[in-house]
Amino acid sequence: MPRASRMACAIAAVLLSLFCASTTAGDADSILTLDKLQVRGLQPTSLPLHIPTTSEGISGEQVRERINATDAQDALKYFPSLLVRKRYIGDYDHAVLATRASGTGNSARSLVYADGILLSNLLGNGATFTPRWGLVSPNEIERVDVLYGPFSAAYSGNSVGAVVDYVTRMPERFEAHAAVSYTHGGFRLYRDEADDTATGVQASLGNRWGALSAWLSLNRLDSSAHPIAFANVAASAGGSGAGTPVTGAVAEKNSKGQDWYLLGATGQTDTVQDLAKLKLAWDIDADTRLSLLLGQWRNDAARGVQSYLQDADGNAVYSGPVLIDGKRYAIAPTAMAPQRADQRHVMQGLSLRHAGAGAWDYALAYSRYDYARDLLRSPGVALPAADAGGAGRIADGNGTGWTTASASASWRATEDDTLEFGLQDERFRLRSEVFDTDDWRAGAPRQRSSLFAGRTALRGAYLQHSRRWSPRWSSVLGLRGERWSARDGALGDAVRTFAFQRRAEAALSPKGAVEYAGGEDWSLKASIGRAVRYPTVSELYQGSIAADAVVNNDPALKPERSVTSELSWVRGLDGGTLRATLFHERTRDALYSQTNATVAPVVTNIQNVGAIRTTGAELALSMAGVLRENLDLDASLTFADSVIRENANFPASVGKRQPRVPRWRANVLATWHAGERWDVTAGLRYSGEQFNQLDNSDIHSQAYMGTSPFLVADARLRYRHDAHWSAALGVDNLGGRTYWNFHPYNQRTWTLEVRFDR
C-alpha cells in the first residue's frame, strides 16, 4: 500500500475511534443541540457564517496557546484542506494560500480579509501576488474564520476556494500586551550551512472611554532566512571551448529527473518588517459603530547569494565561461545576483455598521491599499564587482494598489426570514516601471528600460434570502451580478509603449444552500454555487516585446467559470463536532501559464485550460475534552482527485493532475492542559504527492523546482506564570525534513516566546 494511503487509513481510523468514544450515552445536557452547533461559529466576523455550508474558525487565544505563530498566516496552519506556502519566517512575497481544489500557484482563487478589509493581492495570480499578511500582527488576532467555497453571494468569484477573515482586537477596557520571540533553525542543503534566525517584538495598547475606543498595535520582525533558489545549468548544455576551470558544482537531478549542476545559492533573505496600526471606534449607539483603521507596513529586505564555484586559487566564481568536468558552460552576469527591496505600504479603512434587534441592519465600508513606496534594486554586473555598486536596475511599483467600497443591508421580515442585498465596487491598479541606474545600490533612476501597467474594476450587486422553513429545514438562496472591465493596459521598453484596448464583461452567479436537521445532534447540509473569476492585470498584459511587437501575452483571456458543490454531514459530539464533506468542482477556462506548441511560433504565456474537474472528500473533527477532560483535539483528512479534462493548447496535460493539488492532505493537533499553568501541544502536517507542471513531467519531487510530499511534526510547550506573564517553547518540523514547494521550506525551527498581557 502506498505511503499516502497508509497515512490516510491511519488518520481515518483515529477519527472514527474518537467518534465512537465520544458518542457514548450521557445525560441530555452533554449533547449539543443543532441550534448550538449553528451558534458555535458566530463571532464578530465579516463572514456570513449563517449559510449552511462548511466554515471553520480558531480564536486568537487558541492560536497563542497551540501554534508557533511567527506570522499571521500561521494561524491557518492546521485548518482542514488549507496550506500557506510560507518558505521562511517573514515571507512577504510568495506565501500563497492553497485550498481544496486550488494550489499555491492560484493566489486569485481565494480571498483574505482583516476586519473586512481586503488583503488579497488581486493584481495577479501566482506566487508573487501573496496576500498582504504583514498587515496583521499575530498579537492582535481575536479570531480567524474561514468560509469554504463560493457559496455566499456577497463575495466575488475569487472566493471559489475560500474566504478568510482575520478579526483583530478592540478593547472594552484598558489593555496592554507585549510579546518578544526568538526563532532559530539550522539549514543544511547542498553546500549551504546556514542559520535561520528571527526576532519578533509585538506591542499593543487599547482602551475605551465611554462610546470611544482605540487600539494601537506595533510590530517588528527581523528575519534572516536560508536560500530559496539555486543557480543552475543543464548538464546537457555543456560544450567545448575555453573557460575558467572550477570546482564545487553540485551534480544533481532536476525536477524532471534530468542531470544538472547547481552553481550557487540565491535569494538568501534578510528582512526587517515594521507594522504600525491604529484603530478607532465610536459607538454611536448600542447597535451602531463607526470605525477607522490606519496601517503602515515597511520592509527593508536584502537577498544575498553564495557561489559554490571556486577557481584554482580558491576564489569564488559568479559568472563567465567556466569549465565543469571538462565541459564549457556560460554563466550570465545576473545568474547569481543580489537584490535590495525598500517598501512602504499603507492601508486605510472606514466603516459604519449597524446590527441590532430591529428589522434592519446595514453596513457601509471603504478601504484602500497603496504601494506608497515599492523599490526593488538589482545589479546588471556580476559579483564581486556588484558589491561595490555598479550599473543595475530599479523596479518601481509606486502607484500600485487597490480600493474597495461596499454598501449592504439586511431586512428581517420575521425571525425566520431574512433578505440581504448589497452593492460593491473594487478597483485594482498595477504600475511597474524599471529604470536603469548607474549605482544599483543607491543610485537615482535614469532611462526607463521597461513599463508594465493596467487597471481592472469589478462592480457587483447581490441579493440573498435566508429562510427557516421549519424546525428541521432551512435554506439560503442568492444571486450575484457582476460587471468587470479592464483598461489602461500598457507594455513598454526603453523607446516604445504599446497600449491595449479596453474590454468589459458581465455575468450572473447563482448560489444555494439547504440544511436538514435530522435530530438534536446531527444535520445534513448541501451547497452549490457558480463563481466567475476574471483575469487579473498581470495575467492580461504581462508579456514581452520582440521585433517591434508584443508577444507572449493574451489580453483577450476568458474568465474562469467554476461550479462548486458540496454535501456535508455534521454530528454534534460531547464537546465538539465531527464533519464529513463530499465536494465537487468543475472549472472551465482555468488560467494557467503553459506552452502552446500547436502554433508557430511556439507561445508560452497565460492561457485558458479547457476544463479541470475536482472531486473529493473531507473529514474534520474538533473536540474539547476528548478521552480525558484536559485533552483537546483537532484533526482533518482530505482526499482530492483533481484532473485536467480538456486543454486544446497542451494535449499532453489532458488526464493529468492539476498542479499543486495533492490527493491526500491531513492535519492533527492535540493539546493537553496539564493543570492550570501548562499546555502541551503536538501536531502533524501531511501532504501527499503533487506536481508543479501541467503534464506532471516533474517526477523528481525532492529537488529545486520540485513539489514534494511531506510529513512533519510540530510541538509547543506553554507556561502561564500568572494572569499576566506567560512563555512558550515550540518547534516546527521536529524531524528536520527537507521538503519543497518549488523552493525549500524551513527545516527544524525552534521558537521561544515571552508574553505580557494586562
CATH code of the domain in which 745 resides: 2.40.170.20
Q: State residue 178's pLDDT score.
A: 96
Instruction: Work out the percent of the chain whose per-residue pLDDT is above 70.
Output: 94
pLDDT attached to residue 698: 95
* Mean pLDDT of the residues in the chain: 92
pLDDT of res. 329: 97
pLDDT at residue 619 greater than cutoff 90: yes
Looking at the predicted structure, is the pLDDT value of residue 2 above 50?
no
The Cα 435–Cα 438 span in angstroms is 10
Percent of the chain beyond pLDDT 90? Answer: 87
Of 435, 438, 440, 468, nearest to 452 by C-alpha is 435
Q: What is the pLDDT of residue 172?
A: 93
Q: How confident is the model at residue 194 (pLDDT cuts 50, 70, 90)?
A: confident
Give the number of C-alpha atoms closer than 13 A to the C-alpha of residue 625, restricted to the C-beta side.
8
Helix or strand or coil: residue 475? Answer: strand
Model pLDDT, residue 325: 94
Evaluate if residue 244 carries a pLDDT over 70. yes
pLDDT of residue 533: 98
DSSP strands (E only) in 190-316 = 192-209, 212-224, 229-234, 244-245, 250-253, 259-285, 288-307
What is the number of structural domains in the chain?
1
pLDDT at residue 9 in the model: 46
Is the pLDDT reported for residue 628 higher than 80? no
- The model's pLDDT over 539-573, given as tens digits with 9 standing for 90+, comes to 999 888 887 788 888 999 999 999 999 999 999 99
Determine the pLDDT at residue 321.
Answer: 96
Instruction: Give DSSP secondary structure letters for 644-712.
Output: EEE-TT-GGGTTSBPTT--SEEEEEEEEEEETTTEEEEEEEEEE----SSTT------SSTT-B--EEE
Please state the rounded mean pLDDT for residues 328-340.
95
- Residue 723: burial class (beta carbons within 10 Å; 0-12, 13-18, 19+): exposed
Residue 242 CB-density burial (10 A; 0-12 exposed, 13-18 middle, 19+ buried): exposed
Rounded to whole angstroms, how far apart are CA atoms 464 and 151?
11
Range of the domain at 172: 3-757
pTM value?
Answer: 0.92
Mean of pLDDT values over 234-244: 95
CA 568 – CA 570 distance, rounded (Å): 6
Q: Which of 139-143, 503-507, 561-565, 710-714 has the lowest mean pLDDT?
A: 139-143
Is 281 within 8 Å of 115 (Cβ atoms)? no
**pLDDT for the residue numbered 24:** 34
* pLDDT tens, position by position, 686-712: 999 999 999 999 999 999 999 999 999
CA-nearest of 289, 265, 270, 262 to 223 is: 270
- Report residue 738 as a C-alpha cell: 527537507
Whether residue 670 has pLDDT greater than 80? yes
DSSP secondary structure letters along 311-325: -TTS-B--SEEEEET
Hey, what's the cell of 424? 460593491
Residue pLDDT, tens place only, 249-272: 999 999 999 999 999 999 999 999
Q: How many CB atoms lie within 10 A of CB 234?
A: 12
Closest CA to 740 of 706, 695, 715: 706
- Confidence check: pLDDT of 743 > 60: yes
**Residue 132 and residue 511 in contact, taking contact as beta carbons nearer than 8 Å:** no
Virtual torsion, Cα 88, 92, 98, 102, nearest 10 deg: -130
Q: C-alpha cell of 713? A: 511534526
Mean pLDDT for the stretch of residues 220-233 = 96
